[in-house]
Amino acid sequence: MTGRIEAPDSGAVSARLQELGFFPLTVSAVSEGEAASGRPRFARGGGRRLAGFSRQLAVLLEAGIPLDHALGIAGEVADDPGFRDVIARVRRSVEEGTSLGDAFARHPQVFDELYVSMVRAGEAGGALDQILKRLAEFLEEWQRIRDVVVSALLYPLFLSVFAAGAVTVLMVFVVPRFAEVFGDMGARLPAPTRVLMAVSAFLRRFWWLLGGGAAAAGAAVAVGARTPAWRVWWDRNVLKLPLAGDLAVKIQVSRFARVFGTLIASGVPILRALEIVTGTLTNSVFSNSLANVQAGLKEGKGVAEPLRRAGVFPPLFLHMVAVGEETGRLEEMMLTVAASFDRDVETAARRLLSLLEPIIILLMGLVIGAIILSILWAIFSVNQLAF
């Protein structure tokens, strides 16, 4: 067999292959060009694509179709060539005797650790079709919540871009015309108008400086985001914002509850499930707090108490986790909490939109109004001098 695996060095490749039950004979690095050419390219919509594939594969397996044949059918109906190529590779691995979970694990750019762990649990429990259905439901629900949040933020973003464009046009193209007219008249302009003309001249002359500064600031933020300390500082301050912080907390809690509940309901060991959840959270404050939760679980303290000591989860969530743990229905309670917080995320997103929209419109009106009033003030002043 031959193949490619992304890894930091040849030792990591050998270790990974041995975990999969293979004995590597030779391991060599490929050039960047070869790696790029061998990596499948995908269209957008990965979450929806994977959810659809999971549901189709579950239906085919439930109908009694053999796994390799079901993979062939699901791959043929895929509309993305890159995804179709990956499914073909997975099918070849299965036909060679590899388990489905291990075959998926060879393509981490498509199937993440959560997906692979649930598939392996489904194979071990003999309920692969049910696990795939649960995966499809999980992916569809999370994609829906993501679309709600993105849709709620798109309109304010559009308004902000439109406002910035309108102000730029006024300052770069309209104001200089009036500056030429007022300069020919030789009249002394009011102070607000002189400030406006100075800002307009600065923008026209040093636009490259502003663009370079914005690019440098963006690069600094991108580099800083890779630094753990800066990332923690940023994530902690995001959680303190008036409305956006509440939305961020609800998103993290919803994701934790849904992923954790889905994993343990699928038969994944609770410690392993917690490790996977830690990697799926996007806020470092939440993900870092789960390290102590894992330590508490290893010491036999359960889930609720270590989560409470983490100090980042809301009280309602902690009470429901404690009830689920006491009644032995932790996975059901987690999924119930996820559904509840999903509704809260939608409500918080709409509330944030209802607040941002009038604020942006008001600021845009104030800036444009100030520009127009400064020009009108100068016109009235010149006309009074003429009389």
What are 268-326's pLDDT values in tens digits? 888 888 888 887 788 888 888 887 788 877 777 778 888 888 788 888 888 888 888 88
Q: What is the pLDDT of residue 225?
A: 67
**Same domain assignment for residues 174 and 307:** yes
**Same domain assignment for residues 30 and 51:** no
What are 60-87's pLDDT values in tens digits? 888 888 888 988 888 888 888 888 888 9
Average pLDDT over residues 146-155: 79
**Same domain assignment for residues 246 and 149:** yes
Please provide the DSSP assignment of 280-335 as one string.
Answer: H-S-HHHHHHHHHHHHHHHTT--SHHHHHHHS-S-HHHHHHHHHHHHHT-HHHHHH
Average pLDDT over residues 255-269: 83
**Same domain assignment for residues 121 and 168:** no
**Same domain assignment for residues 150 and 23:** no
Q: What is the pLDDT of residue 36?
A: 41
Residue 289: which domain range?
Answer: 136-387
Q: What is the pLDDT of residue 34?
A: 44
In this structure, which long-range contacts are made by residues 120-127, counting pairs with CB atoms below 8 Å and at least 24 apart in sequence?
121/263, 121/266, 121/267, 121/268, 122/266, 122/267, 123/99, 124/267, 125/266, 125/267
**Same domain assignment for residues 120 and 242:** no
What are 157-172's pLDDT values in tens digits? 888 888 888 888 888 8
Q: Which of 108, 135, 162 is the last residue of a domain?
A: 135
Q: How many domains does the chain have?
A: 3
**Same domain assignment for residues 219 and 363:** yes
Whether the per-residue pLDDT at 57 is higher than 60: the answer is: yes
Length of the chain: 387
Q: What is the pLDDT of residue 373?
A: 86
The torsion angles phi and psi of 190, rounded to 5 degrees, stand at -65, 155
Average pLDDT over residues 3-29: 78
Average pLDDT over residues 245-251: 86
19 or 386: which leads in pLDDT: 19
* CATH number of the CATH domain containing 95: 1.20.81.30
Q: What is the pLDDT of residue 154?
A: 81
**Same domain assignment for residues 341 and 329:** yes
**Same domain assignment for residues 98 and 161:** no
Q: Which of 117, 135, 153 is the last residue of a domain?
A: 135
**Same domain assignment for residues 89 and 190:** no
Lowest mean pLDDT among 198-202, 298-302, 347-351: 298-302
Q: What is the mean pLDDT of the chain?
A: 81
What are 32-46's pLDDT values in tens digits? 444 444 444 444 446
**Same domain assignment for residues 112 and 140:** no
**Same domain assignment for residues 63 and 28:** no
Instruction: Of 44-53, 67-76, 342-351, give the range with the top mean pLDDT.
Output: 67-76
Burial environment of residue 149 by CB neighbours within 10 A (0 to 12, 13 to 18, 19 or more): middle
Average pLDDT over residues 345-369: 83
